[in-house]
Chain A
Amino acid sequence: MKKLITVSAFLLGFVGLAHAETKVPVNLPDAPEGHYVHKAPTMEDLEADESIHPELKRVIRRGYDLFTNTQQLRGKNVFNDMNCSSCHMGEGRMPFSGPVWPAVTTLPDYRGKNDHVNNIEERIAGCFSFSMNGTPPEYGSDDMVALVTYHHWLATGAKIYDYDIAGRGYGSLPEPEKEPSYERGEKLYAENCAICHGEDGQGRKVDGKVQFPPLWGDNSFNWGAGLVRLNTAAGFIKHNMPLGQPGSLSDQEAWDLAMFMNSHERPQDPRFEKSAKHTREKYLNVHKHTMYGKTVNGKVLGEHSNTGEKPFLKPDVLKPRTFE
Chain B
Amino acid sequence: MNVRKRSRWGLVMGALLCLSPAVAFSADVEKGKEVAQTCVTCHGMDGAGQAQGKFPRLDILPKEYIVKQLKDFKEGSRKSPVMAPFVNMLDDEMMENVAAYYSSQTAEVEAPEDADEALIKRGEQLALRGDWDKYVPSCRSCHGAENQGVGTTFPALAGQHASYIVGELQAWQKGDRANDPQNLMLAVAERLSDEDIQAVAAYLAAQPAH
- Give the B-binding residues of A (Cβ under 8 A): 11, 15-17, 19, 22-24, 26, 39, 42-44, 68, 89-91, 93-94, 192, 195-196, 204, 206-207, 209, 211, 242-246
Contacts and interface: CB of A to CB of B under 8 A. Distances in A.
Contacts of B134: 15, 17
Nearest to A43: B129
Interface residues of B, number: 26
B145 interface: yes
Nearest to B133: A15
Interface string B79-102: 000000000000000000000000
A90 B132 contact: yes
Contacts of B148: 206-207
B2 interface: no
Contacts, number: 71
Nearest to A93: B132
A94 B132 contact: yes
Contacts of B188: 244
A206 B142 contact: no
Given A206-B148, A209-B145, A245-B183, A22 B153 contact: no
B59 to A, nearest CB: 18
Interface in B182-200: 182-184, 186-188, 190-191
Interface string B111-137: 000000000000001000110111111
B199 to A, nearest CB: 13
A242 B184 contact: yes
Contacts of B153: 195
Nearest to B146: A207
Going nearest first, the 6 A-B pairs with the smallest beta carbon separation are A90-B132, A24-B187, A15-B133, A244-B187, A26-B135, A22-B190
- For A196, A204, A244, which residue has the most chain B Cβ atoms within 10 angstroms? A244
Nearest to B140: A211
A206 B182 contact: no
Given A211-B150, A243-B141, A16 B182 contact: no
B186 A16 contact: no
Given A207-B148, A244-B137, A245-B187, 9 more contacts: A15-B132, A24-B186, A42-B132, A91-B129, A195-B182, A207-B144, A211-B150, A242-B184, A244-B184
A42 B181 CA distance: 30
Nearest to B128: A68
Contacts of A43: 129
B206 to A, nearest CB: 20
Contacts of A195: 153, 181-182, 184
Nearest to B185: A244
B151 interface: yes
Given A195-B181, A211-B150, A243-B184, A42 B190 contact: no
A320 to B, nearest CB: 38
Contacts of A245: 182-184, 187
A196 B134 CA distance: 22
A195 B182 CA distance: 9
Contacts of B142: 196, 243
Contacts of A23: 183, 186, 190
Interface in B148-183: 148, 150-151, 153, 181-183
